[in-house]
Structure 1
Amino acid sequence: MAVAERVLVHGGGIGGLTLAVALGLRGVQVDVVELREDDGALGVGIIQQSNALHVMREIGVLDECLAAGFEADLLTICDPRGEVVAQIPQPRMDGAPASNGIPRPELSALLTRAAEKAGARIRRGTTIADLTEDDGGVQVVLADGTEGRWDLVVGFDGIGSPLRRRLYGDAYEPEYTGFANWRATVPRDPEVRGVVMSTGNRDVKALLTAISEESMYIASVNAEDPGFRPDPERAHEQFKERVTGFGGAIARALEQITGPEHVVYNRISQVTVDAPWHRGRIVIAGDAAHASTPHLAQGGAMAVEDALVLAQELERAETLPQALAAWEERRRPRALWVQSLSRAVLRQETGQPTTPEDDELLKVGIPGAAHHLVQPY
């Protein structure tokens, strides 16, 4: 891969590790730097829909994902009492399973192993302190005092991306939507064999997702003031106060949340970088470029698609500018479509006014989006 023989990946999350595997398999020397000291991923679990599993197959870790998670073919819709209203078959992409719930730490661990097996060097507890680009590469100084030179620097460094701020200052800061995601991991209910969605009193929607034979997570999106943070001692009680009016598996899941340590709270923000996602030899991808609300469960999928497509374009292009332009041409329309529809679903489900553009997107709906996203990218 002559256009980029050495690549520095800033961020060791799902997208960054996927890129490290994809490039390593193509003979590129990859270095990953991650600020967090440990290799445990934050959060609870993640839904890998078929397009994300297609990427996992392409980088050789699909079987590991399925072994660590809980494979499912159906989306189950229940009424507030927990009675099944509908079971919707989920589409598959090019031989990949329909969906897989998996604990985030398990996914992070298996991608780390795959990246190291592909030759990537992963350095934790540091970040980029300074960088200087010239015609031949990027000279980077890390916060631990070491420095090196790379052909390309890629920022999979999240919604608060320091690399994005280096490129564009504060022009594309995260926009808080007014809503937050409450989640907790609990023992899996035998009735939950995939994803279960239900709407209770006050139009509150709750979601159950099996992420292994033993565990699942419960999630709910609720309106929250910008300054709100859960009480460290009462977070479980606050979660339960927001998710009321349910019976069945959801009620049983709530009973399992017995302490604040079980609860994960995330404000839902969005980032839309209208400027190019690359400048010279520096690229931003995943949430750094197009963070979305969770309503299509596609944030992680868009990041790993970004990674695989970038590796493909670097392999086939004759020059680095050609590769980056082709990558962005493939990725921008799809990622921003997901972002726009996901935000429209949030507005619809929470009773906010929708725009004419939202209304047009909402004609597709969540089931239609799943069928759209199993098309080639």
Structure 2
Amino acid sequence: MTPPLRVLVHGGGIGGLTAATALARNGHHVDVAELRDGPEALGVGIIQPSNALHVMREIGVLDACLAAGFAWEALTVCDPAGAVLARIPQPRMGEAPAANGIPRPALARVLAEAAAAAGAALRFGTTIAELAEDARGVDVTLTDGHHTRYDLVVGFDGIGSPLRRRLHGDAYRPEYTGFANWRVTLPRSPGLDGVLMSTGNLKAKALLTPISDELMYLGSVFAEAEDFRPDPQRAHEQLHERLAGFGGPIAEALAQVTDPAAVVYSRISQVAVEGPWHLGRIVLAGDAAHASTPHLAQGAAMAVEDALVLAQALDAAPDVPSALTAWEERRRPRALWVQALSRAVLKQETGTPTTEEEDALLKVGVPGAAHVLVQPY
């Protein structure tokens, strides 16, 4: 597409800022509308598998991510007592490392700086107030009063996507899986040189993930009632109760968890938009279209792949509708495969009955999935 497009990216998270950077680097005029007051991100840390790092390389921020995080090449698997069962080398995509752990706030800063440096306008504290589309463009008024006609509106606005509701109503609401993630940031254990996963017959798993030279996070997944919330005064004790059966490195890390305010609790939900991911000149991407459980550590990776492939499709196609059709045909099978396998792994690890389709997916397994996902996207 020769003329530069005017694009609104709705959502300034990992996927949205990656899209803004890729599009602006390709010469398009990009505005990012983000409801938060700044680029600061909540949460603990995030794993960037090699395919996500390949995207970071493509948009020019790989070195910054590696400098802010902790790269590794192998996954260590332990039994609940802490005895090492296996050390599994992880595959690489291109020249990127096998994986990188990084604090979410650090990644948000890297991506915000990259988007701004590429020429994208970051508009914080605002969201879409009015939107009207015709065959040639989309008129958008933001809640800060900004009004512009765009060639394309991209919804990287998360699992609760307002743009998804505009396109599909209540047809695709987030579905709670019945499980929740408990995480807490701690000083990195000496010698922890990659993800350490402890699992067994406890219907639970726990992980230690390095996210910088100084820090790691302890994470665990448990079945929780939909209305459960940790007690603000004893969240650390509730985590201790859930991980009481683990020894070794997990127990050593858990002993450091003494502050209830340090425990981050998040329910695990998913969304799969079975209908079109784009209607006219409005497109859904990342968690707005295909939010998955974290069991392959691929949620954010799928979002940044969406972002880069969208920028590539817009440059290769003769017009916006053709680009969006080509983009969705390329992205839908891969993203929904990740979602389905992630959910199957969650059910397998927690002793939940699986379907025949899930059993077939589980034959690939997590190690096999890593090799699939370093293939070109």
Same-fold call, TM cutoff 0.5: yes
Residues 359/372 of structure 1: CA separation in 2 closer, same or farther (3 Å cut): same
Instruction: Specify the code of the residue in structure 1 equivalent to 2:202.
Output: R
Show the counterpart of 1:72.
72
Show the counterpart of 1:160.
160
What's the secondary structure of 2:232's corresponding residue?
A: coil
CA distance in 2, matches of 1:146, 1:123: 9
Q: Which moved more, 1:199-208 or 1:68-77?
A: 199-208
CA contact (8 A) 1:208 1:250 kept: yes
**1:282 has 2:277 as partner:** no
What's the secondary structure of 1:171's corresponding residue?
A: coil
CA distance in 1, matches of 2:60, 2:123: 23
Q: CA deviation at 1:244?
A: 1.7
Show the counterpart of 1:350.
350
Residues 18-70 of structure 1: per-residue CA shift (max 9 Å, x gap): 00110111001110011011321111101100000000000010011111100
CA contact (8 A) 2:14 2:108 kept: yes
What's the secondary structure of 2:253's corresponding residue?
A: helix
Q: For structure 2, which runs of at least 5 residues remain unmatched after alignment?
A: none
Show the counterpart of 2:251.
251
TM-score (norm 2): 0.98
CA distance in 1, matches of 2:237, 2:3: 54
Q: CA deviation at 1:83?
A: 2.0
Show the counterpart of 1:17.
17
Residues 123-159 of structure 1: per-residue CA shift (max 9 Å, x gap): 1111001100012211111112221111100000000
CA contact (8 A) 1:200 1:246 kept: no
Show the counterpart of 1:324.
324
Show the counterpart of 1:117.
117
Displacement over 2 Å in runs of 4+: 1-4, 200-203
Show the counterpart of 1:106.
106
Instruction: Specify the code of the residue in structure 2 equivalent to 1:311.
Output: A
CA distance in 1, matches of 2:201, 2:135: 60
CA distance in 2, matches of 1:3, 1:310: 16
What's the secondary structure of 1:82's corresponding residue?
A: coil
Show the counterpart of 2:126.
126
CA contact (8 A) 1:42 1:105 kept: yes
Instruction: Specify the code of the residue in structure 2 equivalent to 1:173.
Output: R
Q: CA deviation at 1:255?
A: 1.4
Name the count of aligned residue pairs. 377
Q: CA deviation at 1:306?
A: 0.2
What's the secondary structure of 2:202's corresponding residue?
A: helix
CA distance in 2, matches of 1:77, 1:190: 17
CA distance in 2, matches of 1:148, 1:159: 26
CA contact (8 A) 1:181 1:220 kept: yes
Instruction: Specify the code of the residue in structure 1 equivalent to 2:307.
Output: A
Q: Which moved more, 1:218-227 or 1:144-153?
A: 144-153
CA contact (8 A) 1:4 1:152 kept: no
CA distance in 2, matches of 1:342, 1:200: 18
CA contact (8 A) 2:4 2:27 kept: no
CA distance in 2, matches of 1:163, 1:240: 40
Show the counterpart of 1:137.
137
Query: How high is the sequence identity, in percent, across the aligned residues?
Result: 71
What's the secondary structure of 1:186's corresponding residue?
A: strand
TM-score (norm 1): 0.98
